Amino acid sequence: MALRTSVFSDRARAGSRAGLANAGPTLITFALLLSFPWWSGWVGLYPYLGTVVVIWMIYALGFNLLFGYAGLPSFGHGAFFGVGAYAYGLCFPHLGQSSLGALAGAALAGGIGAALIGLFVAHRRGIYFALMTIACGQVFWFVASKWHSVTGGEDGLLNLGAGLSLGGHSFDLRDNVTLYYFVVTLLALVVALLWVVVHSPFGLALQAIRMNETRARFVGYDVWRTKHLVFALSGALAGLAGGLLAISQQSAYPDVMSLHGSGLVVMVTLIGGGTVSFWGPVVGAVLFVVARDVLGSLTDTWLLWYGLLFVVVVLFQPEGIAGVWQRFAPRLTGKKPNLPAPEEKPSIAVGG
């Protein structure tokens, strides 16, 4: 217990220093996001593209809690993304046509789905964990594709509604700018939640498990329960992102639940540098959506070039774009870098 308390205090102080160091970039990021509708037209972009980027930020940040912090490679995470989209479409007509209520249902559905799958996969690790998530994800995709009476099958759910009422005021979320600011608000809440989680004792336990699961269990962590909880939380955030995607598209389809769809969030996280930075998935989401839309308008083979970029990053820069920044930023500022939690060297008490 004394060893764990010492680790917590050391990591908490490191987290506080990292928080102060990242205050500037955080404010700049949200300033750019909030002003995006004003300047997007000048660079040939549009508010809807910004909405999709922010939705993927939420999705990737939630996935990175599982992958980057706990070291659990889920390759079937699109299942919870899709479950959230379908849950939103099914809940909206029955919850007073409130998008907030339907989004809560989407997050709950994603969390419950992940919790159920977690019962089967949380006791596994490494390649066995990854393969089981793939298998479970494909079960979700198959059910969504064939259960026509509920999901609409391959045609999906169409013409989904969207509406928001706060303080006696109604907002039409079918308007791109209104929806954009609503999604950015939710992103801010998700970022705040995840920042608290990763710097809490629970978040430190995740890092201990990632560094060395056997030693983490030896010093007293309830490894199975911790893995199960983080899987459920990550699934809930994926469900929330899926619900937002359903609003933006006004539809829900099973393709996001496929193996291909699940693999995209892994690529986004790795290219951005989620394994070494809290903000890596944010960078990766921007690059992915812009590449998909900008390159997609130039060539039908955009995914080939994005895939080649992924291969290059994995081979020559496994830490992703965030890793490149962490390597060269100190040379520009002349200061010693304050590395984020995932990149800190493991304490002797919890890892080797």
How far apart are the C-alpha atoms of 285 and 40, rounded to whole Å?
17
Average pLDDT of the residues in 182-197: 95
- Per-residue pLDDT at 9 exceeds 50: no
How far apart are the C-alpha atoms of 10 and 128, rounded to whole Å?
33
Instruction: Name the H helices within the chain.
Output: 2-21, 23-39, 47-64, 78-91, 99-121, 127-146, 148-151, 176-198, 201-211, 213-218, 223-249, 259-272, 280-290, 296-298, 302-316, 320-333
Between 327 and 243, the higher pLDDT residue = 243
**Contact indicator for 243, 88 with CB cutoff of 8 Å:** yes
Which amino acid belongs to residue 242? G
How far apart are the C-alpha atoms of 117 and 136, rounded to whole Å?
7
**Contact indicator for 69, 11 with CB cutoff of 8 Å:** no
- Per-residue pLDDT at 7 exceeds 50: no
The CB density around residue 342, as the number of other CB atoms within 10 Å, is 23
**Residue 295 in tokens:** 């390159």
- Per-residue pLDDT at 352 exceeds 70: no
Average pLDDT of the residues in 185-213: 94
Residue 317: what pLDDT?
84
pLDDT digits (tens, 9 = 90+) for 210-257: 999 989 999 889 999 999 999 999 999 999 999 999 999 999 999 999
Q: How far is CA 152 from CA 94, 232, 344, in A?
A: 18, 26, 47
What's this model's pTM, rounded to 2 decimal places?
0.88
Burial of 21 (0-12, 13-18, 19+ CB in 10 A): middle
Alpha carbon distance, N-terminus to C-terminus of the chain: 18
What is the pairing mode between strands 157-158 and 251-252?
A: antiparallel
Between 127 and 297, the higher pLDDT residue = 127
- Per-residue pLDDT at 345 exceeds 60: no
Q: What are the φ and ψ backbone dihedral angles of 350, each rounded to 5 degrees?
A: -125, -5
How far apart are the C-alpha atoms of 319 and 334, rounded to whole Å?
21
Q: Does domain 2-258 correspond to CATH entry 3.40.1350? A: no
Helix axes 201-211, 2-21, angle to 10 degrees: 100
pLDDT digits (tens, 9 = 90+) for 120-152: 999 888 889 999 999 999 999 999 999 999 999
How far apart are the C-alpha atoms of 219 and 343, rounded to whole Å?
21
**Contact indicator for 343, 277 with CB cutoff of 8 Å:** yes
Average pLDDT of the residues in 36-52: 87
**Contact indicator for 234, 114 with CB cutoff of 8 Å:** yes
Average pLDDT of the residues in 168-194: 91
Nearest to 74 by CA among 118, 20, 30, 16: 118
